[in-house]
Amino acid sequence: MRGMLSLIEVNLSNNWLSGAIPAFGPFQKSAASSFSGNAKLCGDPLDVDCGSIYSSNYGMDHRRISYRVALAVVGSCVLIFSLVSLMVVLFMWRERQEKEAAEKKAEAGEMVVPAPQVVASTVFIESLQQAIDLQSCVKATFKEANELTNGTFSTIYKAVMPSGMVICVKKLKSVDRAVIHHQTKMIRELERLAHINHPNLVRPIGYVIYDDIALLLHHHMPNGTLLHLLHNDGDSDDDKQKPDWPRLLSIAIDIAEGLAFLHQVATIHLDISSVNVFLDSHYNALLGEIEISKLLDPSKGTASISAVAGSFGYIPPEYAYTMQVTVPGNVYSFGVVLLEILTSKLPVDEGFGEGVDLVKWVHTAPARGETPEQIMDPRLSTVSFAWRRQMLAVLKVAMLCTERALAKRPKMKKVVEMLLEAKNS
């Protein structure tokens, strides 16, 4: 418009224009009415100061921006606070849940301990390697409710695998450190024992070593031990499977055959007792704890009595001065088990009198005027003449096995023959 030199007057009324009127001669020479109807126009020739309009709009815009920023900041703070509060609440809830779970486990008798670091482990039987979880084996030993037997050299626990399989976990006691110090020898001996092929010996199926603890894995024996079978009369479940003489005689023969095999392969058992005789689902007897003699010192076939004593009541008298476990000593211990089967009495009982054990009580029966029939369990010996005859024959074998003189004790191979003769008599 600045090039329109002939322009004298303009009329821009009612056009909804806004802003400052430019400094241009025709604009300023025009009447104010030429710009009416434009509420947002300012400057000459209007009496509206542009400064007041702009400063007012700027203030309003500035306030709007400040309000939005403040709203965004406050909203962000509220969101962050809410998220942090939610995380704190979730963390406290989780801690409370874990604490309650730990308390429930403690009430149930289960120790809450972190899983230990396994140093060495293996499962010898390939078909069982997927079914056996080694951490489950370790954790089973932390719960007292899983304890099955507590012997001289080990405690045996029941362990249920995630697969549902049930096995026995044997936790070694006093020999733990010796085993760890000879780990390579131990593993070699366990592998050898795992391949022993005899139906009356409990063979290891694997092992776990952690810290200074050694665990041996075995098949689960559903009918427990001979100790349990003979002496747990108060258990209502046992009434259904009350031991009869034919079953007990078969168990005695099974033990004798397993022990005779050990002697044949130059292995001396260190703890022959009824608690170490295990019964499978068909009441076949298997002799346990066969690993102990080799684990104490794998380079020797015998072990010092200072490290090994066996179970009280089953220890032969000569061990007190020879300080050495022997084959005749094994025969003596087996004879105590036979007497335990025949009499249904424990090897040590207050009823025998002070300083008298089962062996002495049986051997001194004639001096007390008691007959063999009075020694034997009448619940068995009075059932039939055939049972009584067999029991008397087995009693003679037990008396020979528990002779004080080592030379009079028969070899286990001969014991097996005599027991089979008694069974067939």
CA pair distance 9, 144, nearest whole angstrom: 111
Residue 184: alpha-carbon gap to chain centroid: 24
CA pair distance 289, 415, nearest whole angstrom: 21
User: Left if phi > 0, otherwise alpha if psi is -120 to 50, otherwise beta: which for 298?
Assistant: alpha
Contact indicator for 337, 252 with CB cutoff of 8 Å: yes
CB-count burial class (<10 Å; 0-12, 13-18, 19+) for 34? middle
For strands 40-42 and 18-20, give the pairing. Answer: parallel
CB-count burial class (<10 Å; 0-12, 13-18, 19+) for 235? exposed
Contact indicator for 175, 155 with CB cutoff of 8 Å: no
Phi, psi values for residue 214, rounded to 5°: -120, 130
C-alpha distances out from residue 142 to 103, 115, 131, 135, 204, Å? 15, 10, 21, 11, 21
CA pair distance 33, 29, nearest whole angstrom: 12
Catalytic annotation, pick one of 271, 280, 349, 357 = 271
CA pair distance 81, 74, nearest whole angstrom: 11
Let me know if 47 is a catalytic residue. Answer: no
CB-count burial class (<10 Å; 0-12, 13-18, 19+) for 331? buried
Q: Taking the alpha carbons of 150, 155, 156, 159 in that order, is the dihedral positive or negative?
A: positive
CA pair distance 221, 89, nearest whole angstrom: 49
CA pair distance 294, 72, nearest whole angstrom: 78
**Residues classed as catalytic:** 271
